[in-house]
Structure 1
């Protein structure tokens, strides 16, 4: 586990540093008037910081005695397939319904929650994110048949 953490941290560090280097070529702007390089530079800086923290943890704490969860790769593959289906079903089903189904699946399949908790969290996530993005921020989202 620690070896994998170190490898992932090193890859994220290289990616973050490259992104910071490239975004530094764009006009930065100011906090009150950000330019096109402002958000990418700060995002890559956070990636570099988090990668450094993970790298230090991986090197400092040695090997982990924790066992890997059986079926972890299968869960990851299933989640990636469901996320792919989400992107294809977003237009025909609409954002609220598709997001509800995605969150419900994630709460029941990846980290099993009781049905009332999963249904409530899925509904809250779908409605809440729709209100924030579609109504408050005026982002056009697919409405679907509902």
Structure 2
């Protein structure tokens, strides 16, 4: 039966720490497994991430590609199938989509025309595609803003 006093880690799961500088018989005496001279042998040494011993580091050897637009706006995509979850006559705005768990609080919202809409809803979001606007109005809904 398993009891607290019989608990033990698996064989080989725990290793003794390396005790350096304890004489030549230990195999880690004198220089404490640091070798002779150089930055790595001295206290306080720390290696910069990506440093390759003076060789041109990988992140500088690789060519730069493309362009990263820092002003790009990322929209959370909402399809017409998502709008079917709301009752007929409902006002679907960002807050309603957040409460339904479809988008996150800080996202910009765009409605796309994927799927079919069979309820008339009022949509108030940041962007609506032309096809989605036509399908929403065909179902008896309206697009505002």
Tell me the TM-score normalized by structure 1.
0.20
Tell me the TM-score normalized by structure 2.
0.20
Higher relative contact order (CA 8 A, sep 6+): 1
Between Structure 1 and Structure 2, whose CA radius of gyration is higher?
2
Whose helix proportion is higher, 1 or 2? 1
